[in-house]
Structure 1
Amino acid sequence: MPNESESDVNDPAQWWNEVYESETTPPWDIGEPQPALVNAVRSDGLSGRVLDVGCGTGTHALWVAAEGHTAVGIDFSEKGIEQARERAEERGLDATFRVADALDVSDDIGTFDTVLDSGLFHAFQNEQRGEYARELAGIVSIGGHVFLIGFGAGAPEDGGPNPLTPDDVSSAFARKWSVLETKEVAFETRETSFPGLLSVIERV
């Protein structure tokens, strides 16, 4: 991932906008959903409204919409959301995209039965992860599920993401959640695959 300048650290949204405006496709934007995430979702089944949190250019939300489900995508980056909307229009898919901070989601977004997180949780610092889980608890229905995938042990630690351990997930989702499954998987990028971690978490 690109390195952040000092000015971008002060304005993270600007850094993400620059990433999505670049002529180079971001390494995590592989043009299709993460295979390990798709497999986990298909095993459990999608239900109700689905939120693609940290959606970027909307890959997972558009996959959900193509499967016939109500899909909403949110991201910090205006440019990422613009591209997601363009892709939805090009493909004739009914998905809603809005600019939003996953650590401070507006109440008017409604509630969801399923949340897909591909590469957002692993971008947070440790102290932000519990805040993120609490924020999701306010918009996920009881019995709803979060499917989460990120870098795992053995993945590079100097590219931006913070590789995850099972304890990172269980600690963040310790209240109002039950971690049903955590396993090692592959996290795909445009050039290669890295060790990944996938978790399925239920709102209780």
Structure 2
Amino acid sequence: MPETTPPRSLFDDIYAGGAAPWVIGEPQPAIVELERCGAIRGAVLDAGCGAGEHTILLTERGHDVLGIDFSALAVELAQRNAADRGVPARFEVADATRLHGGPRFDTVIDSALFHVFDPADRIRYVESLRSVCRPGAVVHVLALSDAGRGFGPQVSEADIRTAFTDGWVVESLDTTTYRGVVSPAHADALELPVGARVEEPAWLARVRAK
């Protein structure tokens, strides 16, 4: 069967049920390391911010960052999390495949968003990012690898390279890991109990806008 991008209602239902497998209560280690080594600079977009862990982290560390998600429930959760931490993080409800406002970001963080899109929506997403990235801006993509066990949507190296062609340079594409929590939907396939913590194979791409 062809790949299809999950509908917005599915993500709202997952957040409403409190069982989002990507909500782990902390930032992904790969994103923490990017910040630590100085790979994040200027105006930052956290695309598909979810519960806001990365937007909160980057705001705490002095970055100018905006977190967006197309699920209003995700944004509400992110705002609550930021308020609980006393962090003035900024969040908006927005569709990452339909961004506007002209080039204004120097860095984009994509933690587990790219891999949810089907091929057609990947094209729209990448074009949308290009419209809001300044020349020389860097997009960091953390996506579940096709070497994984099926914890969630998975992509290949070719999927990433194919999506980021016109107007982009893939500067690096490395292997790393992605942390998550086993949901009821994946417990049987992974042969793990619901709620178990996992670290799955992932890609970490660094892509520069021309």
Q: Give the TM-score normalised by the residue count of structure 1.
A: 0.87
Paired with 2:201 and 2:164, the residues of 1 have a C-alpha distance of: 22
Q: How many residues align?
A: 192
The answer to whether structure 1 residue 189 and structure 2 residue 180 are counterparts is yes
Paired with 1:41 and 1:176, the residues of 2 have a C-alpha distance of: 25
Paired with 2:161 and 2:35, the residues of 1 have a C-alpha distance of: 20
Paired with 2:143 and 2:74, the residues of 1 have a C-alpha distance of: 19
SS at match of 1:128: helix
Cα separation, partners in 2 of 1:26 and 1:96, compared to 1, 3 Å: same
Could you tell me the percent identity over the aligned residues? 32
1:56-114 superposed Cα distances (whole Å, 9 cap, x missing partner): 11111111101111111111101110111111122121221111111111327x61111
Counterpart residue number, 2:208: 202
The answer to whether structure 1 residue 173 and structure 2 residue 164 are counterparts is yes
SS at match of 1:138: helix
Counterpart residue number, 1:107: 101
Cα separation, partners in 2 of 1:100 and 1:183, compared to 1, 3 Å: same
Counterpart residue number, 1:116: 109
Paired with 2:85 and 2:114, the residues of 1 have a C-alpha distance of: 28
Cα separation, partners in 2 of 1:196 and 1:127, compared to 1, 3 Å: same
Shift of 1:47: 1.1
Cα separation, partners in 2 of 1:13 and 1:36, compared to 1, 3 Å: same
Paired with 2:76 and 2:142, the residues of 1 have a C-alpha distance of: 24
Counterpart residue number, 1:73: 67
Asked whether the equivalents of residues 75 and 81 of structure 1 are also in contact (C-alpha less than 8 Å), the reply is: yes
Asked whether the equivalents of residues 5 and 117 of structure 2 are also in contact (C-alpha less than 8 Å), the reply is: no
SS at match of 1:61: helix
Asked whether the equivalents of residues 54 and 120 of structure 1 are also in contact (C-alpha less than 8 Å), the reply is: yes
1:116-148 superposed Cα distances (whole Å, 9 cap, x missing partner): 000000000112212211110110111111111
Aligned pair partner of 2:155 in 140, 164, 169 = 164
Paired with 1:10 and 1:83, the residues of 2 have a C-alpha distance of: 23
Paired with 1:139 and 1:54, the residues of 2 have a C-alpha distance of: 15
Asked whether the equivalents of residues 52 and 115 of structure 1 are also in contact (C-alpha less than 8 Å), the reply is: yes
Paired with 1:163 and 1:16, the residues of 2 have a C-alpha distance of: 17
Counterpart residue number, 1:54: 48
Shift of 1:11: 8.7
Counterpart residue number, 1:12: 7
Paired with 1:140 and 1:95, the residues of 2 have a C-alpha distance of: 21
Paired with 1:46 and 1:194, the residues of 2 have a C-alpha distance of: 24
Pairs within 5 Å for 1:21-36: 21-22=16-17, 24-36=18-30
Cα separation, partners in 2 of 1:34 and 1:78, compared to 1, 3 Å: same
Paired with 1:180 and 1:202, the residues of 2 have a C-alpha distance of: 7
The answer to whether structure 1 residue 140 and structure 2 residue 133 are counterparts is yes
Runs of 4+ aligned structure 1 residues displaced above 6 Å come to none
Counterpart residue number, 2:189: none
Paired residue type of 2:33: N
Shift of 1:162: 3.1
Paired with 2:125 and 2:7, the residues of 1 have a C-alpha distance of: 17
Paired with 2:45 and 2:74, the residues of 1 have a C-alpha distance of: 16
